[in-house]
Structure 1
Amino acid sequence: MKAIVYKQFGNADVLQTIEEAKPVIQSNEVLIKVKAFSINPMDWKIRKGEMKLMSGSKFPKHTGADFSGIVEEVGSSVTGLQKGDEVFGTVKNTMKDGASAEYLAVTPATLWKKPADISFTQAASIPIVGAAAATALEKMGKISSQSTILVNGATGGFGMFLLQLLKQQNAQVSAVAGSNTLKYAKEWGADTLIDYSKVNVLTQKNKYDIVIDLSGKMGYKNAKQIMNASALFINPTPKPIEIPLSLFKNLFTRKKHVIVLSAPSQKNMELLLDAIRNGLQVEINKVFPLESFKEAYQYAEKGGFAGKVVVEFN
């Protein structure tokens, strides 16, 4: 089978396709014929060596974490799934395994049945950023129609899910994005649109109960300028040092720095699937065929678009 791997850290040019043996499943696993996998910022952070403490430095490495496909074979101890089921999910270890192969062996714990009314490309886009959005929502605590929330970098895959989940909570949401993607922020439920190329959100007079930085560029220190007295700064892209540091500093300040570390779970997938049944949109910006995988990663890393980028197997 074909699989995408890399044998050294670097940019998208280090990616290559190789032939590998089709996985042989264990009794507690399911074999999936992959239809599509999505691209997430985590993919290139791992590939560039920025997360080697968690991903390790053993090569070759596979890329990709979430996928959709069709059940090809079911292990003898697996229940609730059968050959032919349309599913989506993640690889067992998102830091070390990869979804960019024609076949995958996974456990049912990281697998969910695909809703009939969404495509394989849409389903492949849900797990990683969807789980992150659901976890961020949980970290925000009780939200009401009076809650004022700023989402910085609001129109990527993460923002797509988060804005729509916040809309379902009736929160007052301000979205910061580029001029070419603000229309999506409005469509996804933002009440106020802020074009970062024209307005520096840090110099405006508005204050917020919650600030979440999806771009990874604002930082808690800057965000404090636009936070209310007992506000939360939600950080889904922390530097390693920020994790223990935030816990210590939160003991001495009312403006809390909240770290979001997420993984797909039964709880957050049920929340997302329920939201999809209630009209949540999964926007696919562009679909690339497998043979254009390098172009797909280069396009995704450049950014500046709304929604998700997906690679599709023919």
Structure 2
Amino acid sequence: MRKVIYNQFGDESVLELTEQAVPGIQKDQLLIRVKAISINPLDWKVYGGEMKLMSGSKFPKSVGIDFSGIVEQTGSTVTRFKAGDAIVGLLDVFKGGALADYVAVKETDIAPKPANLSFEQAAALPVTGLSAMQIIDQLAAVGSNQDILINGATGGIGVFAVQIAKKRGARVTAVVSTKGVAAAKQWGADTIVDYTRQDIRLLGQQFDAVIDLSTKLSFADAKTLMKKRSVFITTLPSPLTLIYSFINNLFSGKKLKVLILKSTAEGLNTLTKLAEAGLQIVLDKTYLVTNVREAYQEASQGSIIGKSVIVLN
């Protein structure tokens, strides 16, 4: 089978499409024939070597976290799925391995694919959708009539964060590029700020939560946008940020929280139900696995709206 691996840290040029043996499965595992995987910013942070503390430095390594596919084979103790079932799932966020023709998983790693989604749409759902749920419902604890600022609102997480925050009754200010204005309006944002025309630090408004999905707004700069008791959320889980957040949160009403995605079977099933109920999934571009380097190079430039996916056929 085909599998994308890398043997050193670097840019997308380290990614190699190789031939590997189809993995065997244990009694509690399923063999999935992968149909599509989505591209996440965490991918290039890991293969770029920024997350060595979490990912380790032993090679070869693999890429691809969330995926969709079809159950090919089940272990003897598997009860919830059978061969032929269409599924969506995700692997360990720091180890990956889904960018392959086949992958071995446990039942807790997958959920039935919503019938109203294509395999490409389904692959784009787990990582960013679960991240948005964790940010809105846990880290920010968004409730009705709260003012929420989402910086980078048209990226993979932002697509879902805007929609889920609106479902929770919040007033959402979405910060986007010029080409993202129409999309943010469609997803329900109450106020839209084009960062190419306005410095968000000068908005003159304070928020209950400032969610930075662009990784370009610092906690220090965000403080002018925060109420006395509020939270700033970043998606960059660096060791220094984690240490600083712990110290800051002991003494300040302006909290700093870091997203570290925690996937659960319950969360994945909740997310697929939201998708069945009409949660919008936005695909920017679809690539063939043979164009894997191009796919990651273009996605890492940060100008896409929604998600890009890689298709295996």
Aligned residues: 312
Give the Cα separation in 2 of the matches to 1:3 and 1:277: 31
Q: How does 1:81-230 map to 2 (within 5 A)?
A: 81-91=81-91, 93-138=92-137, 139-144=139-144, 146-230=145-229
Q: Measure, in 2, the Cα distance between the counterparts of 1:116 and 1:162.
A: 23
**Structure 1 counterpart of 2:242, one-letter code:** I
Q: Residue 277 of structure 1 aligns with which residue? A: 276
- The answer on whether the counterparts of 2:88 and 2:123 sit within 8 Å (CA) in structure 1 is yes
1:74-125 alpha-carbon deviations (Å, 9 max, x no partner): 000111100000001012x331241110000111111111011101011111
What is the deviation of 1:266? Answer: 2.4
User: Residue 287 of structure 2 corresponds to which residue in structure 1?
Assistant: 288
Matching of residues 262-273 of structure 1 within 5 Å: 262-273=261-272
- 1:60 and 1:164 map into 2 onto residues whose CA distance is 38
Identify the residue that residue 59 of structure 1 maps to in structure 2.
Answer: 59
Unpaired runs of 5+ in structure 2? none
Distance 2:263 2:71 in 1: 19
Whichever residue aligns with residue 247 of structure 2, its letter is F
Contact 1:212/1:233, CA 8 A, preserved across alignment: yes
- Kindly report the root-mean-square deviation, in angstroms, between the aligned alpha carbons of the 2 structures: 1.2
Cα distance in 2 for residues equivalent to 1:111 and 1:271: 12
Q: Distance in 2 between matches of 1:42 and 1:73?
A: 29
SS at match of 1:286: strand
- The residue that corresponds to 1:23 in the other structure is 23
1:40 paired with 2:40, answer yes
Deviation at 1:142, TM superposition (A): 4.7
SS of equivalent to 2:253:
coil
* Alignment correspondent of 1:70: 70
Q: TM-score, normalised by structure 2?
A: 0.97
- Residue 18 of structure 1: how far off its partner (Å): 0.7
Distance, in Å, in 2 between the alignment partners of 1:236 and 1:10 is 21
Q: CA, structure 1 residues 99+299, in 2 after alignment: closer, same or farther (shift >3 Å)?
A: same
Contact 1:135–1:268 (8 Å) recurs in 2: no
Aligned AA (1:76) = S
Contact 2:113–2:272, Cα closer than 8 Å, also in 1: no
Cα 1:84–1:264, aligned 2, differ >3 Å: closer, same or farther? same
Q: How many angstroms apart in 2 are the aligned matches of 1:4 and 1:168? A: 38
- C-alpha separation in 2, matches of 1:97 and 1:253: 36
Measure the CA separation in 1 of the matches of 2:263 and 2:283. Answer: 20
Question: Secondary structure of the residue that 2:239 maps to in structure 1?
Answer: coil
Q: Hey, what's the Cα distance between the residues in 2 that align with 1:303 and 1:236?
A: 15
What secondary structure is seen at the aligned counterpart in 2 of 1:228? strand
Q: Distance in 2 between matches of 1:275 and 1:90?
A: 17
Contact 1:165/1:275 (<8 A) preserved: no
Deviation for aligned residue 1:263: 2.4
Q: Gaps (5+ residues) in structure 1?
A: none
State the partner residue of 1:5. Answer: 5
- Following superposition, the deviation at residue 177 of structure 1 comes to 1.0
Amino acid across the alignment from 2:295:
A
Cα distance in 2 for residues equivalent to 1:165 and 1:142: 9
Is 1:297 paired with 2:287? Answer: no
Tell me: CA distance 1:199–1:142, structure 2 relative to 1, closer, same or farther (3 Å). Answer: closer
Structure 2: distance between partners of 1:169 and 1:294:
38
Letter in 2 for 1:57: S
Kindly state the Cα deviation for residue 235 of structure 1 after the two structures are TM-superposed: 1.9
Moved more, 240-249 or 163-172: 240-249
Q: Report the Cα offset of residue 292 of structure 1.
A: 1.2
TM-score (norm 1): 0.96
Structure 2 residue matching 1:176: 3-state secondary structure: strand
**1:273 aligns to what SS in structure 2?**
helix
Distance 1:105 1:57 in 2: 22
- The residue that corresponds to 1:80 in the other structure is 80
Counterpart AA for 1:253 = S
Measured in 2, the distance between the counterparts of 1:204 and 1:102 equals 48
